[in-house]
Amino acid sequence: MSRAGDVARDALQAALRLFPWPTEAGLRRVGSPGPESPVLITGNYDLTVRRLLRALRGLDAWVVVAPSSGINVWCAAAGGHLTTHQVVTALKTSGIGSHVHHRRAILPPLAATGVLGREVSRRCGWKVRFGPVYAHDLPRYLAAKAHKADDMRRVRFGLRERLEMGAAWATPTAIVLGALAALFSSSWVLPVIGLTAALAFGVFLLYDRIPGPRRAIFAGAAAAVALVLAALSGGGPAALVTAALGPVAVTALLTFDYPGSTPIEGGSHFEERRWQITLDPDRCMGIFSCWEVCPEGVYEKRENPRKVVLAHDERCIRCGACIVQCPEDALFFSDEKGARIEPQTIRRFKLTLMGQRTIDSGEAPAEASDTA
Ligand code: SF4
């Protein structure tokens, strides 16, 4: 694909990011990989795979694309579409085992809510490590012999990510609301699309930086601007009412607390918002799997004794990855009454489209399958 075609496809996929976009699962070669070349695993979301292949340009590597229902790695792992089963199946069926002499694979750490590293090893003999969060850090990570620097461990919500999330929400929201506006008057379509897009980008660029009651401030300011524009363009009563109420409704939609979506609104719509990550130091054996997978840099390593500490528990977004991976069950959530939520329960939770956790009955948890 040409560079221009690649850029256009990136833009289209960024705009339609809320929807699955599958690419073929299986084995990809980067450069001229040999039997000692690194093996990387990802899900079959097209944008992710193309970004990964681009990030690896100039290197020799194998990429195993596991089926994840065409969904990006983080959402697929949290929602039960990228699990231990998919990774084991991809390793067994892609033929990678006949191309390399080693059995080491690198997974993105955002897969850690769904893929149990030690279970992959038990089921197919491949040793899994969780690499850097972002594909563009992979060349540095590989050059450093799989040493993960601190800046490779945390998810960032910088300008690029904010613009991508703005585009992802602006596109479907503007299409739906523009179509609704067309039912009333064709002259409303462009203003509604423009206002919706402006609100979507405004929410993701500014909203969490507004002090005080930000939802009211943001929606009020947007409604005031829309009212002035509607009045200046000679809109009738219906247009003025829509201009006043529309931004309030769209702001409420865009800032609803969808766990796993973005850190825009850390609200309390869901019970688990009040859960606290808790460490039982007596159980910690210094394996550091939590340190390796936590996307928020909550943990710090300590030697003498070799253990982790919860150094920044205020950063925890309750993704559950550390609990899923800890082989000693040294980590768990405590609810608002201090009661322990069993790690095995967290391993079986999957997020619904509305961000609510439900128990997944599809894949048996690790301990249960060990005894099967
Ligand atoms: S400490 Fe919180 S953010 Fe970090 S992996 Fe555990 S649950 Fe996720």
Domain ranges of the chain: 3-152, 159-254, 271-370
What contacts 24+ positions apart, CB below 8 Å, involve 228-235?
229/191, 230/191, 233/191
Q: Of the residues 130, 277, 279, which should be mutated to test ligand 1's pocket, given the most ligand atoms within 8 Å of the CB? A: 277
Give the pLDDT band of residue 283 (cuts 50, 70, 90).
very high
What is the Å distance from ligand 1's center to 276 Cα? Answer: 10
pLDDT of residue 270: 59
pLDDT in tens, 20-47: 999 999 999 999 999 999 999 999 999 9
What is the Å distance from ligand 1's center to 326 Cα? Answer: 11
10 compared with 366, residue with greater pLDDT: 10
Does the pLDDT of residue 265 top 70, yes or no?
A: no
* Residue of minimum CA distance from atom 5 in ligand 1: 294
* Residue of minimum CA distance from atom 3 in ligand 1: 316
Give the pLDDT band of residue 366 (cuts 50, 70, 90).
very low
Atom of ligand 1 nearest to the CA of 297: 4
Does the pLDDT of residue 344 top 70, yes or no?
A: yes
> Which three-class secondary structure state does DSSP give residue 293?
helix
Does the pLDDT of residue 174 top 50, yes or no?
A: yes
State the amino acid at position 129 in one-letter form: R
d(Cα 267, Cα 337) in Å, to the nearest integer? 19
| 63 in contact with ligand 1, CB cutoff 6 A | no
pLDDT in tens, 10-24: 889 988 988 999 999
Atom of ligand 1 nearest to the CA of 294: 5
What residues have CB less than 8 Å from 112, skipping those under 6 apart? 77, 130, 293, 321, 322, 324, 325
d(Cα 122, Cα 140) in Å, to the nearest integer? 29
Residue indicated by tokens 């599958």? 22
Residue indicated by tokens 């705009």? 15
What is the Å distance from ligand 1's center to 316 Cα? Answer: 5
Lowest-pLDDT range, 42-46, 160-164, 310-314, 367-371? 367-371
CA-wise closest residue to 289 among 341, 235, 343, 246: 343
Single pTM value for the model? 0.85
What is the Å distance from ligand 1's center to 291 Cα? Answer: 9
Atom of ligand 1 nearest to the CA of 313: 1
* Mean pLDDT rounded to a whole number for the chain: 88
Give the pLDDT band of residue 152 (cuts 50, 70, 90).
very high
Asked if the domains at 3-152 and 271-370 fall in one CATH topology, the answer is no
Strand-pairing partners, residue 127, are 104
Q: Please state the separation of Cα 277 from the chain's center in Å.
A: 19
| 164 in contact with ligand 1, CB cutoff 6 A | no
Share of the chain above pLDDT 90, in %: 62
| 277 in contact with ligand 1, CB cutoff 6 A | yes
Does the pLDDT of residue 268 top 80, yes or no?
A: no
**Mean pLDDT, to the nearest integer, of 128-152?**
95
pLDDT in tens, 38-94: 999 999 999 999 999 999 999 999 999 999 999 999 989 988 999 999 999 999 999
Does the pLDDT of residue 279 top 60, yes or no?
A: yes
Atom of ligand 1 nearest to the CA of 290: 5
pLDDT of residue 363: 54
Share of the chain above pLDDT 70, in %: 91
| 343 in contact with ligand 1, CB cutoff 6 A | no
pLDDT in tens, 107-126: 999 999 999 999 999 999 99
What is the Å distance from ligand 1's center to 109 Cα? Answer: 11
Give CATH for domain 3-152: 3.40.50.11600
- Looking at domain 271-370, its CATH class is alpha beta
* Residue of minimum CA distance from atom 6 in ligand 1: 322
Does the CA dihedral 130-131-133-135 come out positive or negative?
negative
